[in-house]
Amino acid sequence: MSIIYGLLGLSLLVFIHELGHFIAARALGVEVETFSIGMGPVLLRKKIKTTEYRLSLIPIGGYCGMKGQKDFQFALDNKLDEIRGEKGSFYASNPLRRIIIALSGPLANFVFAIFAFALISLIGYSFYTSSNKIIIANEVYPELHSTAAEAGLKTGDRILAINNKNIHYFSDISDIIAISANKVLDITVDREGELFHFQVLAELDTSSGAGKIGIVNWVNLLITSIQSGSHAESIGFKIDDIITAVNGIETKNTSDLEKVLNSLKVAELDEPIQFSVKRENENIVLETDSSLLNDIQNLGLQFEFFKVHTPKKNIFTAFYSGVKESFKMIGLTFKGIGLLFKGLDPKEAVSGPLRITLMFGDTVKDGFAASFSIGLISALSFLALISISLCIMNLLPIPILDGGLILFATIELISSKQVSPKILYYVQFVGLFLILILFAFALFGDINFIFKN
């Protein structure tokens, strides 16, 4: 199901992109000979005026075939100095019109992103997060580096502000840190009622491009949900129980619990595992066979998280939010491209079509499994992000991409002289070579990702 969701999502974005070209071409007098939903063998076709509309077999995007696509090859074969198009063809249009037509595909993706983000604001959404209380990551995972610990932060600190921005939940913390790679953050914490200020470097996570300071969220061991038929249910746990210790070792949060269970797993003890539990006003002990419990995930328990609701906005405020968020994503995308030259591992950070399809499918599937609204929000958020990426990628001044068409049409507009077909051919050949290298690189990363996961 994940693959189906992923294919449908990517197809929608490619369809929107091609629809942008289609609308602009028709509006500016360029004939569209074919417009297809899907690729490959044609299942259905219907010709209306000069355009043949197609439904094709493979549900991956689509294409918009404009009149004049053969003009370029004709100019090459006949060694012409310029591409001459008959009336209604792409190359018969003046360079400004060609720029608008080429720009309209990426613009359609940008408009879709605005619509998606605006719709999210319009309907409102909820999400689960934990408090602003933190744990130093290398206390749980010794292999991790923690700049927070080096700066002086301690487990149990509550982060109140980062760069003078108030913090309420751990999601606030992670959002700011994620976009602050290679920056020093001014962090204010509450430590047992006393305020402290620290300067903490957000390191670059070379696998994702995000910032990190080596902290994880503190989640209290208050049980809020028990999976039906789970091991936890058979042990005897109940909702509102608090796990206080395991085999006499104190546990204050989920990280403590995970650390203790992992140590017991490594020790391979034959004796039962004893959970000390506070239930209402009494303390009880629950036991289980150690061979039946591998880690915290096998328990089937959900612990204390906070449900944060973002209220609905009116249509004008929602539209403003959509525009603001879209431009923010453009900035982050360019920042991500810049990080490729500053130590970011492209094999891990650059996603190709396979990885995007799987990630989108998994995100949407898990979202809809939780609720329809969460699934819808997840789908819209992911589609908006990918749509922005498609917009920017297609605007890169690489021949065969929209950006390349815009570049050469702009040169013609300024110089009043068309770039010769021969030069265009060689430049497009180089552009195609670059695209194939990038595609192969992304595909290699995707295959590596799939096997690793």
Which residues are designated catalytic?
Answer: 18
Tokens encoding 198? 């620290």
How many CA atoms lie less than 13 Å away from 413 in the CB half-sphere? 14
Rounded Cα–Cα distance for residues 422 and 426 (Å)? 7
DSSP string, 322-359: HHHHHHHHHHHHHHHHHHTTTT--HHHH---HHHHHHH
Tokens encoding 409? 């049409």
The angle that helices 372-395 and 315-339 make with each other, rounded to 10 degrees, is 50
Rounded Cα–Cα distance for residues 352 and 296 (Å)? 33
> Alpha carbon of 176 to those of 137, 184, 207: distances in Å?
18, 12, 18
Rounded Cα–Cα distance for residues 424 and 73 (Å)? 11
Q: Which of 206, 194, 205 is nearest to 154 (CA)?
A: 194
In 3-state terms, what secondary structure has residue 397?
coil
Tokens encoding 340? 């490729």
**CB within 8 Å of 102: residues ≥ 6 apart:** 21, 402, 403, 405, 406, 409
